[in-house]
Every structure is written in C-alpha cells, then in structure tokens.
Structure 1
Amino acid sequence: MLPKSKVDLYAAIRRDSRQGLSNRAVQRKYAVGSLTVQKALSSARPEPRKKLPSWATRLDPFKPLIDEMLPNSRHQASRSASQATARSGTRTSSQS
C-alpha cells in the first residue's frame, strides 16, 4: 500500500533504503523518480508547495470600465431590484 502523504512517502523511502533496497528498487516500489528518492534521502521533510502566481483573466482589461458602470454601493443593485418588484407587485425568489 502506498503512503498517503508526502511525509509518509519520504519516511518509507528512507526506511526501505536503510534496509538495503537500491534506489532503483525504491523508485519502482513507490512509482517515483530518482530525484524524489534523492530528496527523500537528503531531507526528512519535503519542501513546502510553491504558491502559484495569480493568473490574468480576459476580464482584467475591462474591470475599470465595469466598475464605472456599476453603482458605488454594493447593496444598491439589490435595493433597486426590490424597489422595481415592489412597483410591479411581483415577488422574487429572495422575498418568498
């Protein structure tokens, strides 16, 4: 059974290596590469995950324009919707 976390994987790799398994055998047993075995043997803890940079979206160039179009208050849109429904006499799903 394969280890559940990377810390457990590193511990298992070190344990098997101490018991005399070759690096190649450890690679096959845990389905990892030689670099992973080398890292596990050189360090007890795996290095932390890298933070991914935020991605630019296609909407980013238009955000200032959208902000100009929208009302300043976040709640103004919901107030406008409730006023419009009050005038027409219909009920929205949020009012039921």
Structure 2
Amino acid sequence: MSTETLFEEEVVEKQVAEHNLIVYNDDVNTFDHVIESLIKICKHDAVQAEQCTMLIHYKGKCDVKSGDYEKLKGMCTGLLDRGISAEVE
C-alpha cells in the first residue's frame, strides 16, 4: 500500500513597478563629465559608466539605472542639476 501526499505551494509575487532612468545625448556635456556623473550619482563603476556614455552618444539615449521611482527620481534630479538630460520612465 502506498500513501501519496500532495503539497500545495503558494507562490506570492510582489509586483513592483519597475522604472528606468534614461539619459539622453546632447551636444554640451563631455564624455568625462557624463562618466563622472554616472559614477557619483548612479553609483556606476568606471567600466559601466563608460559603456553607458558610449551608448548615450551613439544611440541617443541609454537606460542607466532601473528600480523604484523614488530612488530614481533623486538620481534624475542629481543628473539634471549637473546639466545632463535625463528622465524617469
């Protein structure tokens, strides 16, 4: 005789609205300024900041950070204060 026990697992997913911080290309800021700003404001490492800056330059924009709106809003303000075009989507 065999006894089989079935376990029902409940999976609860916490849905968090994921937002993106987008930085746009312009003809004003230097590569170094954007790189330094991404390191300071967005806590990128040097390689990540350089790669994002290249994408911004050649593609016109780049998602530099994703996460919750409030956190990204502060970073966006920091970039805007440095003269860098950015928005949270």
- The normalised TM-score by structure 2 is 0.28
Radius of gyration: which is bigger? 1
Whichever structure has more strand as a proportion of its residues is 2
- The normalised TM-score by structure 1 is 0.27
Whichever structure has more helix as a proportion of its residues is 1
